[in-house]
Amino acid sequence: MSDTAITARSAASAEPRGPKPRRALSRRNIILYGLLIFAAVYYLLPLYVMFVTSLKGMPEIRLGNIFSPPVEITFEPWVKAWATACTGLNCDGLSRGFWNSVRITVPSTVISILIASINGYALANWRFKGSEVFFTILIVGAFIPYQVMIYPIVIVLREMGVYGTLTGLVIVHTIFGMPILTLLFRNYFTSLPEELFKAARIDGAGFWQIYFRIMAPMSLPIFVVAMILQITGIWNDFLFGVVFTRPEYYPMTVQLNNISIRCRA
């Protein structure tokens, strides 16, 4: 074989292969990033207005220029809202309600996600007798309106001795969050390759070993989704907070509602 043929073959083999790289400023990328930037601005604009307004005094707020930055920055509204604002009968600010919301949200989120992930894992990989019936009942319970079950839950919490406490509210949020979270985790675990589960079983791994060493490390995306759903839902809840707690345990949403009613009055 001649040197020319060898050189030509080497050059051909050295040519890059694969799909042609796309241009960074293609029409598709411009439309995609344009929509994403528009959505980000749309959701961040109210937050900006709220922040700059909180740094203004009342005379400047009355001018109505909600988008303009403050001419004279003041933190007095922050201090008053945190420490001295009247939220009903008490005038100790929003600090108490804020920490109540934290004490409600953190355990409710952790417990409900932990139990729901184990339920979804068991329903997806460890089929037991009556699992489909159990799953159906669980899903049906997720779509029952909360208002229908308020009175029975009040009776149950009263008999347990936790009605009007943060513990009772944590139990309520945990129970009501588990059905939809169980559905999410079951569907996610079902989408994972079944061969991983079978290989672990052949190697002698048990229920908890497979969950903690294989399933949980591979399920970070669904854990993040579950955390977002629970944290936003529990933190923004008003109905359960006002029904199942006493004034000293009101979450922040109930306090904000009392402030708005007081201002309108």
Query: Whole-angstrom Cα distance, residue 151 to residue 159?
Result: 13
SS3 at position 161: coil
CA torsion angle 194 200 204 208 (round to 10):
-90
57 and 165 housed in the same domain: no
pLDDT digits (tens, 9 = 90+) for 170-206: 999 998 888 889 989 998 998 888 888 888 888 888 8
- What's the residue count for the chain? 265
Q: Is residue 79 part of a domain?
A: no
Q: What integer is the mean pLDDT of 222-244? A: 92
Q: Is residue 6 part of a domain?
A: no
115 and 54 housed in the same domain: no
128 and 157 housed in the same domain: yes
The 10 Å Cβ neighbour count of residue 201 is: 12
Task: Extract the tokens encoding 33.
Answer: 């990033």
30 and 152 housed in the same domain: no
Q: What is the pLDDT of residue 84?
A: 83
Q: What is the pLDDT of residue 10?
A: 53
pLDDT digits (tens, 9 = 90+) for 204-232: 888 899 899 888 889 999 999 999 999 99
Q: What is the pLDDT of residue 232?
A: 93
141 and 231 housed in the same domain: yes
Q: What is the pLDDT of residue 261?
A: 67
Q: Is residue 85 part of a domain?
A: no
pTM over 0.85: no
Q: Is residue 238 part of a domain?
A: yes
Q: What is the pLDDT of residue 223?
A: 95
Is the pLDDT at 143 greater than 70, yes or no? yes
Range of the domain at 31: 23-74
CA torsion angle 151 153 159 161 (round to 10):
-120
151 and 255 housed in the same domain: yes
Query: Whole-angstrom Cα distance, residue 231 to residue 102?
Result: 10
With 0-12 CB in 10 A as exposed, 13-18 as middle and 19+ as buried, what is 45? exposed
Query: Whole-angstrom Cα distance, residue 199 to residue 263?
Result: 64
136 and 256 housed in the same domain: yes
**CB under 8 Å to 143, separation ≥6 — which residues?**
none
pLDDT digits (tens, 9 = 90+) for 29-81: 889 999 999 999 999 999 999 899 888 888 888 888 888 888 888 888 888 88
103 and 193 housed in the same domain: yes
Domains in the chain: how many in total?
2
The enclosing domain of 143 has a CATH number of 1.10.3720.10
114 and 205 housed in the same domain: yes
Q: Is residue 2 part of a domain?
A: no
Band (pLDDT 50/70/90 cuts) for residue 265 is low
165 and 252 housed in the same domain: yes
Q: What is the pLDDT of residue 71?
A: 85
Task: Extract the tokens encoding 147.
Answer: 């208002």
Q: Is residue 83 part of a domain?
A: no
Is the pLDDT at 3 greater than 70, yes or no? no
